[in-house]
């Protein structure tokens, strides 16, 4: 088999056989196929696409390039969640403990942030002492003892994805539905859960900008998961403004704990987390309807069992559980600067991507993979889309090492204003089953 023939076939829009795809994935991973040939094929796939059969073969090849987790020692259906990511997206820290507290084991592997979006691993790393890279034995112990486990993706899960994603990252070939599907689903299938809820983000700051593209990605991932016996469901959710009031790692932990304490229950972040958790409870067999599942979610908050599950998870894995009750034990910023509204009116839009980049510049995110984060810095966003603000009210609080060098104008320009009330848009755009 020659790699040249695969590239030529795909360049003309032809289909690759499962054997050809397996040959490519093997060769890309072991280095026998040079990067320039893989990069050419990736670009041809971006332009020409892949059939469901090809996407399935690519997913399988990538899943089988490394180890697979065996979660069978933990009883019950295991349910995972994946979000395609966005600024301020911290639903894992909320729904993981809720789902576990309601009796459904929730095994999760997460990533570190790069660029304007944060990563779940970095948010957990803001809890002092918490081990965020668990061995397989530690992961299984956490799942067995607290029903919740979250760890950074280990290097032996889908190494082909690591290799191909690094190439995609530098060749402008990330935004492709079959490539995203295979990348995400190979890791999820290797992770060993029985069911998966997807949160596919849609909007100007997400991979998928239109509802049509987000639906196509959700359908593609749902089809691949189901073909492998995974229960699948996808929510398509709006992503433009930051999700919740916190951007930055310690701040995001605080926001999640506040929601687990029962605060901010009607915020978009809380509503989204509760709905995803309810979907997971139905898939895990803890409830037969979404309404019954929502009632369990609320009970886990009012009885404090969800927050207690998070405390147990943190303590079991070496973290300072008291930091969840005493935020002064979390990483702190040097200084805090208020940015005040320079006019009165209604907020009509907030540019989440721009705020994500500003948070990255403060040190909350990575410009480069090897950057060291400042876990205490970030942005508190005190206004939401649709809110009426008076001139002089606080729009943002900037948590920084030193605030003298901060340009307040850069923050002010992330908000668009209207003189008339702004129509409320639902965060939930569609459900794909
Ligand atoms: N996240 C992934 O893990 N893979 C992609 O291709 C895109 C987002």
Integer Cα distance of 121 and 241 in angstroms: 22
Residue ranges per structural domain of the chain: 3-49, 79-324, 332-418
How close is the Cα of 184 to the center of ligand 1, in Å? 5
Residue with CA closest to ligand 1 atom 5: 180
Structure tokens that stand for 65 in this block? 């390039």
If one counts every other C-beta atom within 10 angstroms of the C-beta of residue 31, the result is: 9
DSSP structural state of residue 237:
E
Ligand 1: which of 42, 62, 179, 184 to mutate, judged by most atoms within 8 Å of the beta carbon? 184
pLDDT at 337: 96
pLDDT score for 425: 86
Instruction: Specify the ligand 1 atom closest to the Cα of 184.
Output: 3
Question: What does the alpha-carbon distance between residue 362 and residue 374 come to, in Å, rounded to a whole number?
Answer: 8
* pLDDT digit string (tens) for the chain, length 433 residues: 999 999 999 999 999 999 999 999 999 999 999 999 999 999 999 999 999 999 999 999 999 999 999 999 999 999 999 999 889 999 999 999 999 999 999 999 998 887 788 899 999 999 999 999 999 999 999 999 999 999 998 889 999 999 999 999 899 998 899 999 999 999 999 999 999 999 999 998 788 999 999 999 999 999 999 999 999 999 999 998 999 999 999 999 999 999 999 999 999 999 999 999 999 999 999 999 999 999 999 999 999 999 999 999 999 999 999 999 999 999 999 899 999 999 999 999 999 999 999 999 999 999 888 899 999 999 999 999 999 999 999 999 999 998 888 999 999 999 999 999 998 889 999 999 9
Among 169, 183, 200, which residue has the most ligand 1 atoms within 8 Å of its CB, making it the best to mutate?
183
* CA-nearest residue, atom 2 of ligand 1: 184
Q: Which residues of 309-326 are buried (b: 16+ CB within 10 A; e: fewer)?
A: bbbbbbbbbebebebbee
Fold for domain 79-324? Pyrimidine Nucleoside Phosphorylase; Chain A, domain 2 (3.40.1030)
C-alpha span between 56 and 114 (Å, rounded): 27
Domains 3-49 and 79-324 share a fold: no
Which residues touch 341 (CB under 8 Å, ≥6 apart)? Answer: 383, 389, 390, 391, 392, 393, 394, 395
Which residues, at least 6 apart from 200, have a Cβ–Cβ distance to it below 8 Å?
84, 208, 214, 217, 218, 221, 234, 235, 236, 237, 432
Q: Tell me the fold of 332-418.
A: Aldehyde Oxidoreductase; domain 3 (3.90.1170)
C-alpha of residue 173 to centroid of ligand 1, in Å = 11
Pocket test for ligand 1, best of 172, 207, 218 (most atoms within 8 A of CB): 207
Token code pair at residue 81: 């969640």
Q: Enumerate residues lining ligand 1, CB below 6 A.
A: 84, 165, 174, 179-180, 183-184
Q: Which atom, in ligand 1's list, is nearest to the CA of 182?
A: 6
Atom of ligand 1 nearest to the CA of 187: 3
Q: How far is the CA of 175 from the centre of ligand 1 (A)?
A: 9
CATH topology of domain 3-49: 1.20.970
End-to-end CA distance of the chain: 38
Task: Please tell me the distance between residue 384's alpha carbon and the centre of ligand 1 in angstroms.
Answer: 28
Q: What is the pLDDT of residue 155?
A: 84
| Residue whose CA is at the smallest distance from ligand 1 atom 3 | 184
What pLDDT digit, counting tens, does each position of 62-73 carry?
999 999 999 999
**What pLDDT shows up at residue 220?**
97
Q: How far is the CA of 11 from the centre of ligand 1 (A)?
A: 23
CA angle 316/320/323 to nearest 5° reads 135
Joined together, the tokens standing for residue 140 give 């299984």
Report, as residue numbers or ranges, the catalytic residues: 82, 161, 168, 183, 187
């Amino acid at each position: 088999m020659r790699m040249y023939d695969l590239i030529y076939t795909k360049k003309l829009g032809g289909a690759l056989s499962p054997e050809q795809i397996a040959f490519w994935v093997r060769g890309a991973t072991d280095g026998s196929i040079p990067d320039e040939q893989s990069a050419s094929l990736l670009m041809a796939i971006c332009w020409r696409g892949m059939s469901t059969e090809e996407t399935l073969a690519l997913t399988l090849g990538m899943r089988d390039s490394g180890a697979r987790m065996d979660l069978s020692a933990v009883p019950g259906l295991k349910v995972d969640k994946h979000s395609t990511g966005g600024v301020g997206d911290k639903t894992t820290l909320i729904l993981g403990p809720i789902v576990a507290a309601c009796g459904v084991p929730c095994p999760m592997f997460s990533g570190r942030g790069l660029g304007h979006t944060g990563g779940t691993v970095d948010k957990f790393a803001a809890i002092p002492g918490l081990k965020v890279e668990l061995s397989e034995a530690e992961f299984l112990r956490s799942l067995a003892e607290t029903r919740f486990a979250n760890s950074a993706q280990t290097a032996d899960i889908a190494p082909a994805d690591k290799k191909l994603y690094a190439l995609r990252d530098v060749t402008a070939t990330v935004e492709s539905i079959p490539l995203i599907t295979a990348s995400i689903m190979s890791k999820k299938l290797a992770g060993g859960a029985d069911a998966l809820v997807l949160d596919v983000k849609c909007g100007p700051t997400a991979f998928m900008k239109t509802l049509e593209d987000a639906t196509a990605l959700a359908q593609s991932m749902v089809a691949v998961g189901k073909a492998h016996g995974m229960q699948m469901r996808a929510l398509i959710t709006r992503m433009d403004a930051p999700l919740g009031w916190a951007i930055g790692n310690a701040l995001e932990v605080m926001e999640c704990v506040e929601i687990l304490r029962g605060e901010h229950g009607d915020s978009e972040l809380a509503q989204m987390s509760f709905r995803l958790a309810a979907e997971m409870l139905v898939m895990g067999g803890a409830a037969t309807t979404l309404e019954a599942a929502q009632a369990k979610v609320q009970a886990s908050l009012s009885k404090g069992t969800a927050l207690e599950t998070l405390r147990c998870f943190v303590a079991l894995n070496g973290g300072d559980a008291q930091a969840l009750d005493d935020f002064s034990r979390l990483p702190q910023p040097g200084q805090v600067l208020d940015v005040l509204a320079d006019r009165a009116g209604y907020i009509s839009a907030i540019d989440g991507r721009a705020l994500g980049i500003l948070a990255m510049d403060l040190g909350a995110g990575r410009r480069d993979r090897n950057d060291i984060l400042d876990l205490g810095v970030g942005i508190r966003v005190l206004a939401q889309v649709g809110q009426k603000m008076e001139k002089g009210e606080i729009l943002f609080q900037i948590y920084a090492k030193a605030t003298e060098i901060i340009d307040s104008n850069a923050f002010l320009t992330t908000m668009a204003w209207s003189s008339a009330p702004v129509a409320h848009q639902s965060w939930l755009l569609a459900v794909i089953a």
